[in-house]
Amino acid sequence: MFWKIAEVLVRLVYFRRFRAAKRIGEAGALMAEDRAPEALELLERVGARLHQSLLPFWSFTRGRVLDRLGRPEEAEAAFRLAVLAEPENGRADLELAVLCGRQRRFDECREWLDRLDGKDDLETRARGAPIRELMERVVTGDRERELEARARDFATRPLPPAGEAPGLPPDLALLDRFVEASPAEALEHFDDLALLIACGEVARGARLEISLSLDDSTVVRSDGARLDPFAAVAARLEGRAPTLAEAIDAGWMRKT
């Protein structure tokens, strides 16, 4: 009788672990469906009674969800916990490298990539190689020169409806006409528009701060005000700002 009871208890423990692991996987699926708030809610419920063996999986998934929700400090803490819980796995090291690089913490980004290169996780190490290459291009300034050249090229491109080139600094009224006449094409050139606006501000005396992630890059004026050119373009394309000039002005005020 004792052994039968023990067997039932063991099966119950493993069933609970399996069910918790399945729910963590479901949270990852919710995040992939752009339902991050629901994913986090599910993870918090699972975490209330989590077996130690599932801590790395849970922490890593939670970190990715928090990052998706725009909560980088909490995401970093979750990834660090995943590293401590499963030091031989390199996935959290890679996520921390990317997170630090996006925040322009390049020395820390390099440290996490160095840690990753010392692990046997060959697949994740291979994914880290292009991250390191990109980071070094940002640090040396090669990435900034590449983006500036892209902006100059777009500045000379004839745009609908009249086939005029926007120039650099760009003619914002001309860009507004382009957005109105060809919204689908404008959306296709979302990054080009943002880079053109950013480099236009640089031409007026601001500086461009390049991040590991292009859309985390910003422009900073001498008075410390900061502009997210990608957010400004998004506001114009989504109709939240009637003109690019107003979107840019609002962006500076929001970041001051």
12-16, 27-31, 148-152: the lowest-pLDDT one: 12-16
pTM for the model stands at: 0.85
pLDDT tens digits for range 102-118: 999 999 999 999 999 99
CA–CA dist 186, 40 (Å, integer): 34
Q: Is the predicted pLDDT of residue 181 greater than 90, yes or no?
A: yes
Mean pLDDT of the chain: 90
In CATH terms, the fold of domain 2-139 is 1.25.40
Q: Which part of the chain has CATH 1.25.40.10?
A: 2-139
CA–CA dist 147, 135 (Å, integer): 14
CA–CA dist 113, 130 (Å, integer): 11
pLDDT tens digits for range 42-79: 999 988 778 788 889 889 999 999 999 999 999 999 99
What is the predicted pLDDT for the residue at 18?
Answer: 61
Classify 242 as helix, strand or coil.
coil
Joined tokens for residue 211: 């991040």
Q: Is the predicted pLDDT of residue 15 greater than 60, yes or no?
A: no
